[in-house]
Chains A and B, each alone.
Chain A
């Protein structure tokens, strides 16, 4: 612009050069490095039970919740169908691949069945998103919940493809290069690699034009249209990306349990993903993984803990519910919000950065 003619506003090149590095914010964070190292050497520390039932399960749920975090945290769209997309992807792996239900499964090798499942689940989620973006707020929640509920009942009643309420069992998992990739340690690394990939992809996108525009759509869709953006196209594209992430989690999930049935895509499970994302915090991509870890630890150990107190072990959801209430009450951005506030309270006020990340 030729506006900058005033002496006060003469461009100072030094100012421009001092722009903070926009690359990887975590790279100078020692805590992030420690977590990364622990995750990498986990098989040396943890038993097979912990490796798969706790950490791999956490990472898989974390990826699903990450797809919701991307939509809700950056796009302001609360989608309750992320688990449904993952479940659809899991079903497709079982249907196109090899399973114990030979009359249903087409018996494709995994390297054909998985891309097929990813493509179909992404298309499914994008289509659902295209319906959902016509609405805002609570109506988006209702439409995506309706899609989730419809899919659950459909899988229950459809025997030709989804095998009704029994689902599809003994789904084959990949074996190649002489490795059984479903054995505990290789599977853990596969899950870790996919989770890391998704995490860094979301982190990277948050500062790319697509991700920034999505945050603009979250903050003020009308203004985004008045800046030249096709808001609905942006929202649908966000659903497409989030659906792909959820679909990846679905593939890992069906390999983890080696079966998929309507119980895995129930409405309750859809809402669990929302709880995980909100408890962890939806302002940053690390939040969903923290939420998933809390959820999995509670689900696994709350039972023993409650029985020891003389209560019904099945009440672990009560603990999750109370935790959810407490978090929502004290921190609108989940556990990471509590953590950030605790760190800021320990820092002298003058050193505080001008702007936090994410939204308020």
Chain B
């Protein structure tokens, strides 16, 4: 027993993200059942599955928005199962939301500035940032990187949908992310915007791994090296993108399963 436990923790130590037996119940409904996933640092993985497969619940458990009903979650070897979300974020975890979760009353610049401030010191600072504030420059660079420089002084409520999606990604890349969870980043984007998204994802530094939930296979399979297929709250299949794409069971369930 002991040696098995030791071996398991040794496996966990090298992983960016390690979930063991994670279950999440909503009343009698099991949104996640016994999910075990290990993701290497720098690994890029897609999570596929129909609506209700438990993909977003999985993200919510990893970030701590919901506590898992049972199971453990390790982030770079550290047991974060009972950490509040902000403690996980400060350790380098990031996420985006399927429905943009932005600050509509603030400008684009201030949204990104808050993201930079959240993962650094001085969150309670009473002093306004000066002209040469390092975080303000970091925010400027991030705003440029997601092509939002022209609207940086506009309130987020006034942005177009595609711009909000880009800002959503910028917020997740502030500071020094080590691992990012992208929840349907391409939802509602035009073909041009999708191309830009793919470019942003593929140009991320190699040490930043991510999990992406994406229904658009064109996007998903071009930006990942491995795929996890979920069904009814369970891991259904794991493999390389081409294996998953050509798997008859997967096609039955997902690609041919009435999904647009």
Contact = CB atoms under 8 A, between A and B. Distances in A.
> Are A and B bound to each other?
yes
Contacts of B111: 216
A220 B128 contact: no
Interface stretch (A51-59, A206-214, A337-345): A206-214
B30 interface: no
B103 A215 contact: yes
A208 B141 contact: no
A228 B90 contact: yes
B79 interface: no
B106 A219 contact: yes
A22 B129 contact: yes
Nearest to B151: A354
A69 to B, nearest CB: 15
Nearest to B200: A3
Contact of A227 (B89, B124, B204): B89
Q: Contact size class for B?
A: 35 or more
B104 interface: yes
A245 to B, nearest CB: 14
Given A215-B103, A227-B171, A354-B158, A16 B95 contact: no
Interface string B96-107: 010001111111
B105 A219 contact: yes
Contact of A355 (B63, B97, B107, B144): B107
Contacts of B138: 1
B145 interface: yes
B105 A205 contact: no
A15 B173 CA distance: 21
Task: Classify the interface of chain A: helix, strand, loop or mixed.
Answer: loop
Given A1-B141, A212-B106, A360-B157, A229 B128 contact: no
A134 to B, nearest CB: 14
**Which of A4, A204, A222, A359 has the most C-beta atoms of chain B within 10 angstroms of its own C-beta?**
A4
B6 interface: no
Interface in B108-147: 109-111, 113-115, 117-119, 122-129, 136-138, 140-142, 144-147
A3 B145 contact: yes
Contacts of A5: 203
Contacts of A219: 102-106
A218 B105 contact: yes
B195 to A, nearest CB: 12
A220 B102 contact: yes
Contacts of B155: 354-356
**Which of A22, A227, A356 has the most C-beta atoms of chain B within 10 angstroms of its own C-beta?**
A227
Nearest to A217: B103
Given A1-B145, A208-B127, A209-B117, A354 B154 contact: yes
Given A20-B153, A219-B103, A226 B65 contact: yes
Nearest to B135: A209
B124 A4 contact: no
Nearest to B95: A226
Interface in B203-249: 203-205
8 contacts: A3-B145, A16-B140, A209-B125, A213-B123, A225-B86, A226-B97, A226-B101, A228-B89
Shortest beta-carbon contacts, A-B, top 4: A228-B118, A359-B105, A227-B118, A3-B145
Interface of A: 1-6, 8-9, 11-12, 15-16, 19-20, 22-23, 204-205, 207-210, 212-213, 215-216, 218-220, 222-231, 234, 237, 354-356, 358-360
